[in-house]
Amino acid sequence: MPSITFIQASGESRKVDAPLGQNLMQVATELGLQGIVGECGGAAMCATCHVYVDEAWIDKVPPPNSNELSMLDFTASDRQSNSRLSCQIRVTQALDGLLVNLPNAQ
């Protein structure tokens, strides 16, 4: 299973083995990780699964579609160039080692 590291706004990090096919929001919420809510269940309609993908990984993650780009206007924390909705990023072997930073509010 690919290894994904979630880094809290506090700096605390958690490295997990993520099941292939799940999205990052599912991985985080099933672990009970603080910092990702996932209110809409992964439908790209709430922006409470906002994350910042580590800059070194941004080109390795499949790009956002137009719906995700629109929803990123509604994040509680500042939108940045590496902002993504974690429910829209599916775990693949290519993402082994991915670093994801969590915002300080959702």
Contact residues toward ligand FES (CB under 6 A) are: 25, 38-40, 42-49, 71, 85, 87
Nearer to ligand FES (CB atom), residue 7 or residue 51: 51
What gap in Å lies between CA 2 and CA 94, rounded to an integer? Answer: 8
* Residue number, 19 or 41, with CB nearest to ligand FES: 41
CB 17 to ligand FES: min, Å? 21
Cα 27 to chain centroid, rounded: 9
CA-based nearest residue to 72, from 101, 48, 56, 43: 48
Q: Give me the amino acid identity at 21.
A: G
Give the nearest distance from C-beta 84 to ligand FES in angstroms.
10
